Amino acid sequence: MRTASEPLHDGDLARLRQLLAAAAGLVFDDSRRASLSAAVAERQRLTGIGDVAAYLDLVCDPAAPERQSLLDEVTIQETHFFRNPPQMRALRAEVLPELVRAARGRGRRLRIWSAGCSTGEEPYTVAMMLRELLPDLSGWDVRVLATDLSQTALRTARAGTYGERAVQLASPATRGRFLLPTDAGRHEVRRDVRELVRFAHHNLVLDPAPRESFDLILCRNVTIYFSRETTRALVRRLHGCLRDGGYLLLGHAETLWQINDDFRLVAVGGDNPAYVYQRPAPERRVRQAERRTAFRPPEPRAQPSQPPEPPPPAACPADTVRAVLADGRYEQAARLARRAADAEPMRPELHYLLGRSLVELGRDGEALPALRRAVYLEPVAGLAHFLLAGVLARCGDPSAAAREYRAAASTLGLDPLEAAAPELGGRSPHELAALCRQLEGQLAGSPRPGSPR
């Protein structure tokens, strides 16, 4: 039997990649070889199939239950309650109240879809906000559909009980109102929240979209694992099942730039806005057609799998942090990067990786000094300028953000190693530089991005 640390051979890896792309749209780049190999070794161990080729023959059969187990093993389920705080604030203060107002005139019906809900924290977060907004639901027809590819994630979601880490961003008031402490020191989502949410297995790439007209779709941190073509097709479908005026929320690092022009980008919230997409009402579509860019930086296309063990300390700490980041283990990446940057404070890439990990965790305030240090030590670090610009824009400093976008536009592509960086999300440094120039222009044109509504 192959052990978890033995990498798959090229031919087996190619076959596996093809299978995962066809079965779920998942794209794995070369940096995922070790974690994919470990995932397959784990499944081989559990099924008792010693031969890799025989295992791959088995999972190539679409009807084989083992195919689902493999998908469960390779998908990344990183999530938590109130993930992406600026976006959650925007949802609570503006987007949901607006949708509730509109629904009052439309039969008091609200439909929300958490597409790629993982272990359930995201749809439960939305359901908690709905309960706050609509304490008395009599006369209302409100449902949150929550779907995912992973059956193990859905089992956890349905159980509705979470550890401390998952709820760390929930305020004491939210905890008191919506979470019940269990004897085992965990947190159970209260029944009135749970009854708003229905979980279902659904493959966003292969299955038809639900036959609903949604007011809000959250599809956050899911398309980062897809090719651009797969994302385009998915976003077209999501657009088709949103009602006019309905909203689409992506992850903080996802963008519709060069993906879909049918949405308008809306900055919600005053000083520290979140950017959300809206399906315009028909009369606004023509007017909005010119608005074709998004403020979100792209995210690694790099891929999933949860290797049982973190990579051993490597000769190069930056490589270790990159591998952990690519696995979506952001907390661990931040810890490792901080330790490495403390040990070697003159290495700009360690500060950059620390900043990147913190941005992934939505901790912009902490990311700021790390990214500033990165560009101070390496003024031509295009990706660091780019990330810093996004953080500054979110922190409400548009003129500093514009300067950083300008610096990013003039430095991206200077470092030949950058061309293969997963942060580019499959784009060339040249394409990203063009986006930076656009963003700089937009920010320079408006002292502070405000809500266009």
Residue 251 in contact with ligand SAM, rule: CB under 6 A:
yes
Please, which residue, 37 or 119, has the CB nearer to ligand SAM? Answer: 119
* Nearest distance, CB of residue 427 and ligand SAM, angstroms: 21
Task: Compute the least distance from the CB of residue 45 to ligand SAM, in Å.
Answer: 22
Strands 242-250 and 274-278: antiparallel
Q: Would you say 134 or 154 has its CB closer to ligand SAM? A: 154
Site stretch for ligand SAM (CB under 6 A), options 70-78, 171-179, 372-380, 413-421: 70-78
Closest to 300 (Cα-Cα) out of 328, 260, 333? 328
Q: Which of 222, 358, 367, 401 binds ligand SAM (CB under 6 A)?
A: 222
Binding-site member from 13, 41, 52, 76 for ligand SAM (CB under 6 A) = 76
| Interaction of residue 203 with ligand SAM, rule CB under 6 A | yes
**Of residues 8, 20, 24, 110, which one binds ligand SAM by CB under 6 A?**
24
How long is the chain? 453
The DSSP H or E segment spanning 334 is helix 330-343
Neighbours of 157 (CB within 10 A): 28
79 near ligand SAM (CB under 6 A): yes
Cβ closest to ligand SAM, residue 77 vs residue 293: 77
Quickly tell me which residue has 């097709």 as its tokens.
Answer: 233
The residue to which tokens 């309960």 are assigned: 131
Q: Smallest distance from the beta carbon of 408 to ligand SAM, in angstroms? A: 25
Segment interacting with ligand SAM (CB under 6 A) among 50-58, 142-150, 271-279, 362-370: 142-150
Figure out which of the listed residues 31, 35, 77, 411 binds ligand SAM, where binding follows CB under 6 A: 77
| Rounded-to-integer distance, Cα 118 and Cα 124, Å | 11
> Under rule CB under 6 A, how many of the chain's residues touch ligand SAM?
26
Determine how β-strand 214-219 pairs with β-strand 242-250: parallel
Please state whether beta strands 187-189 and 161-162 pair in parallel, antiparallel, or not at all (unpaired): antiparallel
User: Beta-strand (E) ranges in 160-196?
Assistant: 161-162, 179-181, 187-189
CA neighbours closer than 13 Å in the CB half-sphere of residue 416: 0
- Please, which residue, 118 or 411, has the CB nearer to ligand SAM? 118
Backbone angles phi and psi of 90, in degrees to 5: -65, -40
Compute the least distance from the CB of residue 318 to ligand SAM, in Å.
Answer: 23
Strand order in the sheet with 274-278: 197-201, 141-148, 109-115, 214-219, 242-250, 274-278, 264-268
149 contributes a contact to ligand SAM by CB under 6 A: yes
Judge whether 412 and 418 are in contact, CB under 8 Å: yes
Q: Does 221 bind ligand SAM (CB under 6 A)?
A: yes
Of 129, 113, 103, 130, which is closest to residue 245 (Cα–Cα)? 103
Measured from the CB atom, the residue of 207 and 244 that comes closer to ligand SAM is: 207
Minimum Å gap between C-beta 365 and ligand SAM is 20
Contact between 150 and ligand SAM (CB under 6 A)? yes
User: What whole-number distance in Å separates Cα of residue 223 and Cα of residue 235?
Assistant: 9
Residues 6+ apart with CB under 8 A from 54: none
Q: Smallest distance from the beta carbon of 189 to ligand SAM, in angstroms?
A: 15
Residue showing tokens 């409400």? 396
Taking CB under 6 A as the rule, does residue 205 contact ligand SAM?
yes
Q: Residue 144 is inside which H or E element, if any?
A: strand 141-148
Residue closer to ligand SAM (CB basis): 328 or 390: 328
Quick one: which of 243, 148, 259 has its CA closest to 200?
148
Contact present, 238 and 115 (Cβ < 8 Å): yes
Near ligand SAM by CB under 6 A, which window of 60-68, 110-118, 316-324, 404-412? 110-118
Q: Coil, strand or helix: which one is 179?
A: strand
Cα–Cα distance measured from residue 179 to residue 128, given in angstroms and rounded to the nearest whole number: 10
* 75 is a site residue for ligand SAM (CB under 6 A): yes
| Beta carbon nearer to ligand SAM, 59 or 439 | 59
Piece of the chain touching ligand SAM by CB under 6 A; list 8-16, 77-85, 290-298, 359-367: 77-85
Where does this chain touch ligand SAM (CB under 6 A) — which range of 41-49, 221-229, 271-279, 371-379? 221-229
Give the span between the Cα atoms of 439 and 406, in whole angstroms: 9
Work out which of 87, 118, 258, 306 binds ligand SAM, going by CB under 6 A. Answer: 118
- Residue nearest to ligand SAM as judged by C-beta position: 79
Binding residue for ligand SAM, selected from 82, 214, 225, 247, defined by CB under 6 A: 225
User: CB of residue 140 vs ligand SAM: minimum separation in angstroms?
Assistant: 25
Binding site for ligand SAM (CB under 6 A): 24-26, 75-79, 83, 116-118, 122, 148-150, 153, 203-205, 220-222, 225, 251, 328
